[in-house]
C-alpha cells in the first residue's frame, strides 16, 4: 500500500537542513546548561588589553540556540510553503498537504494580524497585545484553532464518523481510495476513521463549549461578586460561604459527579441550568437599567430586548422548550456545560469580590458617589471597567483550564457523546494501543496541548500589557 512521506519532494533538500539545525539546537541547549552550572554564563569578558571584550561561552551558546532555532523554523516553514504549491499530495507530503487543507485559516490569520497591527493604537488593550511578542504568539495559536473550528467543514478530508475498510490503525499518509480525498493524512484509528478529520472537528467540539461556558461562569461570578465586594456585610458573608463550599470540593470529582449519565435522572442539571442561565439576563438587565435610568424610553428598549431575547434563549437552553427550535442543548452537552459554569463561578466570584474591595476605595468611586450615582451604576460602569485587565487574563486562563477538564472528561468517557471527535475522547480511543499505534492519540494530544499553551501565552501577554495601563 502506498504511503505519503512527511515532507514530500521539498524534504529531500530541506529536511537535512532542518535535522542539522535541530541537532545544533539540542547541543547548544546542553552547552548552555553546562555553562550555567559551571558559572560561565556571565556578561562579556574583558580582553587582554583591557579595552576590547571577548564573548563569554554562555553568550556564544545563547547565540547558537537563537540562530539554530531560527534555521529549523525557517526550514519547516519552507517545507510547508513548498508543499502548498505542489500539484499533488505525493509531491507535497503529509505536512504540505495539511498546510493546503488549512488555507482558509492562513487567510483569516493574515487578515486578522494585518488589520490588528495596522489599527492597534485604536483598539485599546487588544491593540497593545501586538506590542508583546509572547502575546502575539499566543494569540496566533489560539486564533489558529478558532478559525480551524469555524472552517472545519472545509478543512476535513473525510467525514469524521465514516469508517473505511482496511484502514484500521493505519499509519499517517496511507492511501484511502474509497475516500473523497484519497489519503488519510494522519492515518486511521481503531475504527478506521480519519484521524486528521477527527482532530480538526475536535477543535469545534472543544471551542463550542469552553469559551461559552466560561463566559456564563463570568456572568455568574461578576453578578454576585460586585455586590458582595461593594456592600460587604451579611450579603458578602453568605455568598462567600456558598462559594467556599463549592471550592472546597475536589474539582475533578465534582465534575465526575455532575456529568455522569445517571445524574440526569435526578433532575439536578435542569435545576442548575434554570438557576445559572438566569444570571446573564439579570446582568444585562441591570447593566442597561443602571446606565439609562435617566432616559426611560432607551432604558425600556434595551431592557425589553434583553428580556425578550434572553428568556427566548433561556427556555431553549435550560428546558429545551424553544417554540421556534433555534435554541437547544442535548442532555449530555447540558450536563457538561452546566458543570463547567457551576465549578468555575465561585473562582470568578472571589476574584471579582477582591478587585471590587480594592477599587471601591479609589477617588473616582468617591466622586461618583458624590455625584449621586446609584450603587449599581458605580459597580458596573466605574469599578468593573477598571477591573477588566485581571478579568480578561483570568478569562483566557480559565478557558485553558476548562479545555483540560473537558479533555479529562472525554478521556474518562464522559464527554458530549461516546463517538464524539472531541480531543479527550479521541485520546482515550487511541491510548488503548498507544505502544503499537501512537498516531491516533498523539494528534489530538498535541492539539490540546497547543491550544492550552496558546491560551497561557495570550494571558501572559495580556497581563504584561494590562500592567502598563
289 with 415, same domain?
yes
Task: Give the domain-ending residue among 52, 86, 101.
Answer: 101
Residue 295 sits in a domain whose CATH number is 1.10.3720
Q: Which domain holds residue 66?
A: 1-101
Which pLDDT tens digits describe the chain residue by residue (469 residues)?
467 888 888 888 888 888 899 999 999 889 888 878 877 665 555 555 555 455 567 778 888 888 898 998 888 888 888 887 888 888 888 888 898 899 999 999 999 999 998 888 888 778 888 888 888 999 999 999 999 999 999 999 988 888 887 888 888 888 888 778 888 888 888 888 889 999 999 999 888 888 998 999 999 999 999 999 999 889 999 999 999 998 888 777 777 777 777 777 778 888 888 999 999 999 999 999 999 988 999 999 999 999 999 999 999 888 888 878 788 888 778 888 888 899 899 999 999 999 999 998 888 888 888 888 889 999 999 999 888 888 988 998 888 888 888 777 777 666 666 677 888 888 877 877 777 778 888 888 899 999 999 999 998 888 887 766 6
DSSP per-residue string spanning 12-80: HHHHHHHHHHHHHHHHHHHHHHHHHHHT---SPEE-TTSSSEE--HHHHHHHHHHHHHHHHHHHHHHHH
Dig out the grid coordinates for 308 from the structure. Answer: 425578550
> How many angstroms separate the first and last alpha carbons of the chain?
60
- Considering only CA atoms, which of 121, 381, 345 is closest in space to residue 230? 381
If asked whether residues 251 and 393 sit together in one domain, one would say yes
d(CA 63, CA 84): 31
DSSP 383-426: IHHHTHHHHHHHHHHHHHHHHHHHHHHHHTT-SSSTT---HHHH
| Within-domain flag for 294 | yes
Point out which residues pair with 76 in neighbouring strands: none
Residues 212 and 85 in one domain: no
Domain boundary among 74, 101, 128: 101
Distance CA 59, CA 44 (A): 8
- Domain membership of residue 180 (yes or no) is no
DSSP 8-state class, residue 380: I
Stated pTM of the model:
0.85
**Count: domains in the chain:** 2
Among candidate residues 59, 79, 101, the one where a domain is terminated: 101
Closest Cα to residue 107, out of 139, 70, 137, 151?
151
Q: 203 and 84 share a domain? A: no
Backbone angles phi, psi at 467, to 5 degrees: -70, -20
Nearest residue to 197 (alpha-carbon basis) of 97, 107, 109: 97
Please name which of 25, 36, 31, 34 lies closest in space to residue 67, comparing C-alpha atoms: 25
Task: Kindly state whether residues 252 and 372 are assigned to the same domain.
Answer: yes
Residue 307: Cβ-neighbour burial (10 angstroms; 0-12, 13-18, 19+): middle
Is 372 a member of any domain?
Answer: yes
Amino acid at each position: 500500500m502506498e504511503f505519503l512521506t512527511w515532507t514530500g519532494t521539498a524534504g529531500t533538500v530541506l529536511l537535512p537542513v532542518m535535522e542539522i539545525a535541530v541537532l545544533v539546537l539540542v547541543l547548544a541547549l546542553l552547552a548552555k546548561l553546562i555553562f550555567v552550572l559551571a558559572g560561565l554564563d556571565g556578561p562579556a569578558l574583558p580582553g587582554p588589553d583591557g579595552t576590547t571584550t571577548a564573548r563569554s561561552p554562555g553568550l556564544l551558546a545563547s547565540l547558537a540556540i537563537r540562530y539554530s532555532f531560527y534555521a529549523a523554523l525557517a526550514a519547516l516553514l519552507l517545507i510547508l510553503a513548498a508543499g502548498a504549491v505542489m500539484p499533488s499530495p505525493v509531491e507535497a507530503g503529509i505536512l504540505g498537504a495539511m498546510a493546503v487543507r488549512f488555507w482558509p485559516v492562513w487567510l483569516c490569520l493574515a487578515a486578522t494580524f494585518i488589520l490588528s497591527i495596522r489599527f492597534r493604537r485604536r483598539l485599546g488593550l487588544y491593540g497593545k497585545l501586538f506590542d508583546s511578542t509572547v502575546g502575539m504568539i499566543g494569540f496566533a495559536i489560539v486564533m489558529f484553532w478558532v478559525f480551524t473550528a469555524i472552517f472545519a467543514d472545509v478543512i476535513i478530508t473525510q467525514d469524521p464518523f465514516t469508517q473505511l475498510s482496511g484502514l484500521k490503525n493505519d499509519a499517517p499518509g496511507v492511501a484511502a481510495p474509497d475516500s473523497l480525498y484519497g489519503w488519510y493524512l494522519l492515518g486511521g484509528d481503531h475504527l478506521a476513521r480519519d484521524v486528521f478529520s477527527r482532530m480538526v472537528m475536535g477543535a469545534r467540539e472543544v471551542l463550542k463549549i469552553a469559551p461559552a461556558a466560561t463566559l456564563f461562569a463570568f456572568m455568574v461570578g461578576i453578578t454576585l461578586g460586585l455586590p458582595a465586594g461593594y456592600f460587604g456585610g451579611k450579603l458578602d458573608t453568605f455568598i462567600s460561604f456558598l462559594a467556599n463550599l463549592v471550592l472546597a470540593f475536589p474539582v475533578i470529582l465534582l465534575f465526575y459527579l455532575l456529568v455522569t449519565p445517571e445524574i440526569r435522572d435526578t433532575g439536578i442539571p435542569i435545576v442548575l441550568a434554570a438557576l445559572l442561565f438566569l444570571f446573564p439576563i439579570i446582568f444585562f438587565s441591570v447593566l442597561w437599567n443602571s446606565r439609562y435610568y435617566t432616559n426611560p424610553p432607551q432604558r425600556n428598549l434595551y431592557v425589553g430586548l434583553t428580556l425578550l431575547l434572553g428568556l427566548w434563549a433561556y427556555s431553549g437552553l435550560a428546558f429545551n422548550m424553544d417554540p421556534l427550535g433555534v435554541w437547544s442543548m442535548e442532555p449530555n452537552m447540558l450536563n457538561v456545560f452546566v458543570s463547567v459554569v457551576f465549578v468555575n463561578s465561585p473562582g470568578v466570584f472571589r476574584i471579582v469580590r477582591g478587585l471590587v474591595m480594592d477599587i471601591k476605595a479609589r477617588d473616582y468611586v468617591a466622586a461618583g458617589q458624590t455625584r449621586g450615582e446609584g450603587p449599581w451604576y458605580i459597580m458596573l460602569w466605574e469599578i468593573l471597567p477598571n477591573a477588566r485587565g485581571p478579568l480578561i487574563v483570568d478569562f483566557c486562563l480559565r478557558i485553558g483550564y476548562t479545555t483540560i477538564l473537558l479533555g479529562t472528561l472525554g478521556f474518562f468517557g464522559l464527554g458530549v457523546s461516546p463517538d464524539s471527535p472531541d480531543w479527550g475522547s479521541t485520546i482515550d480511543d487511541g491510548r488503548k494501543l498507544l505502544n503499537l499505534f501512537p498516531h491516533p492519540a498523539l494528534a489530538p494530544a498535541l492539539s490540546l496541548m497547543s491550544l492550552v499553551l496558546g491560551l497561557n501565552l495570550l494571558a501572559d501577554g495580556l497581563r504584561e500589557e494590562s500592567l502598563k495601563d
